[in-house]
A and B are shown apart, each in its own frame.
Chain A
Amino acid sequence: SAVISQKPSRDICQRGTSLTIQCQVDSQVTMMFWYRQQPGQSLTLIATANQGSEATYESGFVIDKFPISRPNLTFSTLTVSNMSPEDSSIYLCSVETGYTQGYGYTFGSGTRLTVV
């Protein structure tokens, strides 16, 4: 299965600023997924990032707030823009690693963001 390096692992940011989270995969993957996990909650999909095309966002998430880059098949970034305390969450990237062959998805270790 793939190995994902996600950074930073945590950060404390001032409201109104932006934070860019990076995910590096050790193999080429078509789709990368970005999730948010609010305190005590489960994972919510933010967007899907395919190389060479614009990211597709889920209901409730917009590009101006969460711009995503996908410059190649092993790397993606998610930016949390103009942050407010409500953005305090864990942000995770994920890739599909042979879903139909029974291998599930691989997740990064997450970025714990606290906005003050």
Chain B
Amino acid sequence: SQKIEQNSEALNIQEGKTATLTCNYTNYSPAYLQWYRQDPGRGPVFLLLIRENEKEKRKERLKVTFDTTLKQSLFHITASQPADSATYLCALDRTPTNDYKLSFGAGTTVTVRA
């Protein structure tokens, strides 16, 4: 099964800066890789999905890259705001056969200082 590693448990940045989060996986490259946001006491909220044949995906101030050679995805929050403070989870297919089951990374908690 996949092992997913997300960089440092916590990331503290100044408002207006770019936060960069890393998601590394160990085995096969998934057909889809997803990023979620989770606030304390709430369920995860879907942010972005990138396919294995896509290099980059953008949504407003968010950007995701996917490098199947490095087995890595980067998640960027540009012009960060205190409201971006949350835990961000990387998720990908559990198996190569796309059985709709996901494995999640442990998450990176981002704190944006005003």
Contact = CB atoms under 8 A, between A and B. Distances in A.
B101 A104 contact: no
B41 A112 contact: yes
Given A99-B100, A103-B49, A104-B34, A109 B107 contact: no
Contacts of A99: 32, 49, 100
B100 A96 contact: yes
Central interface residue in B49, B51, B89, B107, by most chain A CB within 10 Å: B49
Contacts of A105: 34, 46, 102
Chain A interface bracket (under 10, 10 to 19, 20 to 34, 35 or more): 20 to 34
Interface in B37-52: 41-49, 51
A45 B102 contact: yes
Nearest to B35: A104
Interface string A31-72: 101000000011111001000000000000000000000000
Interface string A66-96: 0000000000000000000000000010101
B43 A107 contact: yes
Contacts of B44: 43, 92, 107
Given A102-B49, A109-B43, 9 more contacts: A4-B43, A41-B106, A42-B106, A43-B44, A43-B104, A48-B101, A94-B43, A105-B34, A105-B46
Q: What are the 10 tightest A-B residue pairs by CB atom distance, in nearest-first order? A: A104-B46, A107-B43, A43-B104, A42-B104, A42-B106, A110-B43, A102-B49, A107-B44, A109-B43, A92-B43
12 contacts: A33-B101, A43-B44, A45-B94, A92-B43, A92-B44, A104-B34, A104-B46, A104-B47, A105-B102, A107-B43, A107-B44, A107-B45
Interface of B: 32, 34, 36, 41-49, 51, 89, 94, 100-107
